[in-house]
Amino acid sequence: MDPNPQQPCPEHGDRLEELLRGRGVAPAKPSEELGHLVSDLLLDRLDPQAVSAVERRVGEDPELAAILAQVEGKRERGEVLLQLAAWVDERRALERTGLVRFAPPQEVHAMARGPTAAAGGLYEANMVAEALALVGFSLGEVGAGLDFGCSSGRVLLPLCAAYPKARWLGCDPNQGAIEWARRTLPKLELFVSPQHPPLPIGDGELDLVFAISIWSHFGPDAAVRWWEEMARLVRPGGWLLFTTHGLGSIAYHLARGERLLSQSVEIAETLYRTGYWYRQEFGPSGDWGVKDPEWGTAFMTPEWVVSRLCPRWALRLYLPGRNLENQDLYLFQRL
């Protein structure tokens, strides 16, 4: 019987501490040199006149001015300035960077909204660029890249702006998000994806696939099937980057009150025993209308991941907790 969440059983706490001891690795942080590549590229395109125009528009709105005033650090201020430039629709800044205003209505799925998300997913775009740069590959070399599970195109927006010569594709089973993104981001190739493979893309057509918090939702069989599909889509030498819940995510969610202590112990014990934990947790309405018994919440260990992807792929980079100090980041290269 589970203990009352307000009065957790001490044995559960001791057991969880025991399970996580020795596997606890500090979450990876963005590097100073490579952790802001996309943002820096976009900021370098702004001339003083564009910056002044954005600052003037922001200064006219007390709420926006307060947001900018709270930011410390030159680089961080620049990244917020990019977001606010899109929010106020400052034309000179948007034309020079290639950004557009990202403001989906409430009925359209988006992982972030508002003034500090109006230029899209800069954090995630920087994370993708950094991971590839750490293994010596530049996003400028991408001929065709796919955001697998792109929602309404938030991460693709800054990537397309920073690297406009590439062919950027995105897919998601959420039809409403794709339809909105098609109207708003016409430079992208977007399509509604099926719940199960295959995708309507040719063999070896892609240089890169990235998926932020997508494999964190697949049941184990679906996870493997979609990895097999990625092996079909990505050319030899190409890249697959994804994030998912790992052991570090257990403590992350527990600290925020998002899971009971008893369930956290269950997840940890299952990971040590089988390498994978999965539950269908979205309920009868599904995840924004997307319903599938193999789409829920998943945790997995690096050992389980590597055992399923190798030898068709080679693990080139593993950054525990790199995504928001929660999900682990994996970068594989197709052999």
Give the pLDDT of residue 8: 41
pLDDT value at 51 more than 80: yes
**What is the average per-residue pLDDT within 80-99?**
98
Specify the pLDDT at position 283: 86
| pLDDT in the model for residue 2 | 36
Residue 10 has pLDDT above 50, yes or no: no
Q: Is the pLDDT of residue 6 over 80?
A: no
pTM of structure: 0.94
Arithmetic mean of pLDDT, 156-178:
97
pLDDT at 4 exceeding the cut of 70: no
Give per-residue pLDDT as tens, 251-304: 899 989 999 999 999 999 999 999 999 999 998 888 988 889 999 999 999 999
Q: Across all residues in the chain, what is the average pLDDT?
A: 93
Across the range 29-58, mean pLDDT stands at 96
Looking at residue 135, what is its pLDDT?
A: 97
Q: What is the pLDDT of residues 98-121, one digit of tens each?
A: 999 999 999 999 999 999 999 999
Q: In the structure, what pLDDT confidence band is assigned to residue 3 with cuts at 50, 70 and 90?
A: very low
Mean of the pLDDT values across residues 128-151? 98
| Per-domain residue ranges of the chain | 105-334
CATH number of this structure's domain 105-334? 3.40.50.150
Residue 21 confidence class, pLDDT cut points 50, 70, 90 = low
Question: Does pLDDT of 312 surpass 60?
Answer: yes
The pLDDT confidence band at residue 1, using thresholds 50, 70 and 90, is very low
One-letter-per-residue 3-state SS of the chain: CCCCCCCCCHHHHHHHHHHHCCCCCCCCCCCCCCCCHHHHHHHCCCCHHHHHHHHHHHHCCHHHHHHHHCCCCHHHHHHHHHHHHHHCCCHHHHHHHCCCCCCCCCCCCCCCCCHHHCCCCHHHHHHHHHHHHHCCCCHHHCCEEEEECCCCCCCHHHHHHHCCCCEEEEEECCHHHHHHHHHHCCCCEEEECCCCCCCCCCCCCEEEEEECCCCCCECHHHHHHHHHHHHHHEEEEEEEEEEEECHHHHHHHHHCCCCCHHHHHHHHHHHHHHCEEEECCCCCCCECCECCCCECEEEECHHHHHHHHCCCEEEEEEEEEEECCCEEEEEEEEC
How do residues 209-240 score in pLDDT, each as one tens digit? 999 999 999 999 999 999 999 999 999 999 99
**Report for 2-6, 14-18, 22-26, 27-31: range of highest mean pLDDT:** 27-31
Share of the chain above pLDDT 70, in %: 93
Name the pLDDT band for 15 (thresholds 50, 70, 90).
low
